[in-house]
Amino acid sequence: MRFLFIISKQEVPRPMYTEKVWRQYTRSAQVLPNMPSAYLAAWLEKEGFEVRIIDAFAERLSVEETARRAKEFNPVAVGYNLITENFLDTLPWIKEIKKFTGIPVIVGGLHMSLYPRETMTHPEIDYGVTGEGWRTLPEMIRVVAAGGDPSTVRGICYRAEGEFRATEPRPDTLTLEDVPFPARHLLPNDRYTTVMSREWPITVMVSALGCPFRCAYCDVPADRYQARSADHVVAEMEECVKRFGIREIWFQDESFTIDGKRVGEICETLLSRGLKVAWSIRTRPDLVDRETLKLMKRAGLMKVHLGVESGSPEVLKRLNRPTDLEVVRRAVRWSREEGVTTLGFYMIGLPGETAEDVRRTIKLALELDCDYIQVNKFVPCPPSPIYRELVEESGIDYWAEYTRGDASIIEKLAGKGSSFSPAELDEWQGKFFRAYYYRPSYVWNRLKRVSSFREFKNLALSAASLR
């Protein structure tokens, strides 16, 4: 029995970037594998299905070519991993491919748990899986293949007689240690890249899902922290290197260093097995200590992405983030001293934020002088506390309306609660990037470290997009 995952053009949510930065971003700054599809593909193969993944974004396929390939493969159904923030970019692909092939569509992802009813208003989508897909997806495919009754499958939604129907939820049962490693043999691994990569091919991994903290702006559900053991993580790293020739791994854990003991075990295991691979992590500055940094560096850590967010302690307080900027300075300094590349994440347009606050953030960014920065316009997203408050106050669930089809409503969300209009925010974002990346000292230092033409080309394109 055949099943196909399609990864459509992976757009970066537009309200967070200016149009130019967004275009560049989707062109070359970041093309990464879709992990939920790769995980589920491996699971389905284990269950005896014949599975394919078409990564149309990475392979730069048109929707027509993707539809043609889908028809040729002729699966029982086609699956899409949905992301709330770009659902309306994925929807035209779902529509076109459904129109051309007529193959039933099954969708899943956190988005389906947040907005099942709104998603199912689109008639091209036949079934939605809410919650975990491990048990539900194989069962759903078998029911579709047999023309059976979907109401017998727990954890799904569908339409019957034009009405929205949801079956009884299915409790979560499996962790990432109970399932096979992602099916990278089905992915175009040599196509993945980011503007900051030095080694190719690269891949993404998650050593833990979720985050136990509760920052007010954060859209990561707080109740789902799930960490894999060091042995399990390193075994996947080893598979990446030995089977797929991968040379750089991007850990996408929300905060890799939450559990110092586990991080230590990962590093010791890597060192004892002599596994040579470059890797990078994301974390909070207050979760960085010098000893762990030193050890991570020895075990291959190349880059740390630090969530600095703002240079204003008042703004940080409202976000329920640590407010001591000394801790941030220390984390960046230690990383630099240990030879680890740094990327600082910043946001502008935060609740209550004024021009003075943004100036403080830019000043801090220049002082920290990370190797890279990423500046996003703040866009409230579900299920964050700030978004929930906004919905309560305004009576509008913006992302629900967006999911129903109103793309423009989201434009109003960028910088909501700050003192900036969307146009002003665009200006600040451009100003921030230019103040940072166009410094002659920055350009010179960066160019000195370029190690390949590919890296140079990516950097040049990104720099041009900031003009």
Q: Binding residues for ligand B12, per CB under 6 A?
A: 10, 12-13, 16, 32, 34-36, 39-40, 79-81, 83-86, 106-111, 114, 129, 132-134, 137, 204, 206, 209-210, 219-220, 252
Nearest residue (CB) to ligand SF4, 223 versus 326 = 223
Greatest C-alpha distance within the chain = 65
Which pairs count as long-range contacts for 113-118, CB under 8 Å and 24+ apart, including other chains?
A: 114/84, 114/382, 114/383, 114/399, 115/84, 115/399, 115/400, 115/403, 116/157, 116/164, 116/166, 117/157, 117/164, 118/400, 118/403, 118/404
Residue 119: its H or E element: helix 116-119
Answer for the pair 233, 263: CB distance below 8 angstroms, yes or no.
no
Site string for ligand SF4, 246-285 (x = CB under 6 A): --------xx----------------------------x-
Residue 213 touches which of ligand SF4, ligand B12, none (Cβ within 5-8 Å per kind) = ligand SF4
Q: Choose, by CB under 6 A, the member of 38, 211, 249, 296 that binds ligand SF4.
A: 211
Q: Which DSSP string do the residues of 330-352 spell out, in sequence order? A: HHHHHHHHTT-EEEEEEEES-TT
Give the residue with the Cβ less far from ligand SF4, 89 or 254: 254
How many CB atoms sit inside 10 A of residue 278's CB? 18
Phi, psi of 345 (to 5 degrees): -90, 130
Q: Do 96 and 78 meet the contact criterion of CB atoms below 8 Å apart?
A: no
Q: Which residue's CB is nearer to ligand B12, number 305 or number 360?
A: 305
The C-alpha atoms of residue 202 and residue 240 are separated, in whole angstroms, by: 9
In the complex, the smallest distance separating the C-beta of residue 230 from ligand B12, rounded to whole angstroms, is: 19
> Would you tell me how many other CB atoms lie within 10 Å of the CB of residue 12?
18
278 sits in which H/E element: strand 278-283
* Contact of residue 450 among ligand SF4, ligand B12, none (CB under 5-8 Å per partner type): none
214 to 253: interface string for ligand SF4, x by CB under 6 A: xx--x-x---------------------------------
Q: How many Å apart are CA 334 and CA 340, to the nearest integer? A: 9
Give min distance, CB of 274 to ligand B12, in A. Answer: 27
Residue with smaller CB distance to ligand B12, 78 or 230: 78
Which residue, 69 or 416, is less far from ligand SF4 as judged by CB? 416
CB-nearest residue to ligand B12: 108
The option from ligand B12, ligand SF4, none interacting with 255 (CB < 5 to 8 A, set by class) reads: ligand SF4
Give the footprint of ligand SF4 on this chain (CB under 6 A): 211, 213-215, 218, 220, 254-255, 284, 307
